[in-house]
Amino acid sequence: MALNISEHWLDLGDTGQLYYKQWRPDGSSQASAAPIVLFHDSLGCVALWRDFPDRLATISGRTVIAYDRLGFGRSDPHPGVLPLDFIDREADAAFACLSETLGLEAFIALGHSVGGAMATTCAARYPLRCKALVAISALTCVEDRTREGIRASEAAFEAAEQMERLGKYHGSKAHWVLRAWVDTWCSDAFRQWDLAPAMQQLQCPTLALHGDADEYGSTLHPERFEAHTPQAKARVIPACGHFPHRSAPDAVLDVIQTFLATINTDSLPGCQS
């Protein structure tokens, strides 16, 4: 299936510009269906989704939209220190602006890691518009494993080549990106953060995917989705770490395709150019 791929910048006013990209399948029977919006992880950006959006748009027949949060990738720098309520704020700030600009009357939220938590918050905040949620390696609370994994990664970034790689995707913002991740998740003030309130508000079908060898979070997280969300289904991917959509992309895409094919998403217009 051919894809029409386009890049855009969204003006957020005083806070700067947001970069986003769209993959539109040509001639798909799902062309008018709710598009899939991607939310990236703590060190991620649109480019680091690699070929996942292309493949997702192809197998689903739906438009896929991915954006760089403020401070990441090709978006403008974040104006200051990342606030502790940054996950909740995403639903009311950047995502709300993107949704209004694109005319998203309906959408499917798909997020990885902290992006999975943001996707969950957006799904809870817009229950009539979010038709389904896919959370990949989503963290729902701060485990000891989470902090230990982040500290281990922080040590790895002492190597110049690791920071150079981060700079390849975030430019001069790379140091801010790293500190925003480490200093937030490892702070005592963030230790009590919990996604449970948002999970309990979900009204859409939910798929929680998690690798059984995730270095930042145990299978407690998909189990919590099932415990807190009536329509949630957990799926543990064997022999996978924190990035199952990279290490086992075929398995992940197959599970997502099956999930989307078995739920009742309506055909409200998804986005407008």
Report the CATH number that the domain containing residue 10 is assigned in CATH.
3.40.50.1820
Q: Tell me the pLDDT band of 226, cut-offs 50, 70 and 90.
A: very high
Residue 128 belongs to some domain of the structure: yes
* Least confident piece of the model among 3-12, 23-32, 173-182, 204-213: 23-32
Supply the pLDDT for residue 103: 95
**179: Cβ contacts below 8 Å, ≥ 6 apart:** none
User: What is the percent of the chain where pLDDT is above 70?
Assistant: 95
Residue 269 belongs to some domain of the structure: no
Q: Rounded to an integer, what is the distance from CA 181 to the centroid of its chain?
A: 15
Residue 37 belongs to some domain of the structure: yes
H helical segments located in 22-93: 52-60, 86-92
Q: Tell me the pLDDT band of 1, cut-offs 50, 70 and 90.
A: confident
Closest to 30 measured CA to CA, from 112, 95, 100, 108: 108
User: Distance between CA 71 and CA 68 in Å, rounded?
Assistant: 8
User: Distance between CA 99 and CA 96 in Å, rounded?
Assistant: 5
Q: pLDDT digits over 107-163, tens only?
A: 999 999 999 999 999 999 999 999 999 999 999 999 999 999 999 999 999 999 999
Mean pLDDT of the residues in the chain: 94
Residue 190 belongs to some domain of the structure: yes
Supply the pLDDT for residue 255: 97
- Look up the domain containing 192 and give its range: 3-261
Residue 270 belongs to some domain of the structure: no
User: Distance between CA 21 and CA 53 in Å, rounded?
Assistant: 10
Supply the pLDDT for residue 263: 81
Count of Cβ atoms closer than 10 Å to residue 232 Cβ? 21
Q: pLDDT digits over 31-72, tens only?
A: 678 999 999 999 999 999 999 999 999 999 999 999 999 999
User: Distance between CA 132 and CA 232 in Å, rounded?
Assistant: 10
pLDDT over 50 (residue 267)? no
The pTM for the full model equals 0.95
Q: pLDDT digits over 52-62, tens only?
A: 999 999 999 99
* 3-state secondary structure at position 53: helix
User: What is the percent of the chain where pLDDT is above 90?
Assistant: 91
pLDDT over 50 (residue 273)? no
Residue 42 belongs to some domain of the structure: yes
Mean pLDDT over 6-33 rounds to 88
Residue 272 belongs to some domain of the structure: no
Q: Is the dihedral of CA 219, 220, 223, 228 positive or negative?
A: negative
For helices 174-185 and 144-156, give the axis angle rounded to 10 degrees. 150
Count of structural domains within the chain:
1
User: Distance between CA 94 and CA 51 in Å, rounded?
Assistant: 24
Residue 110 belongs to some domain of the structure: yes
Distances (CA, A) of 137 to 125, 209, 242: 21, 6, 6
Supply the pLDDT for residue 14: 86
Count of Cβ atoms closer than 10 Å to residue 158 Cβ? 8
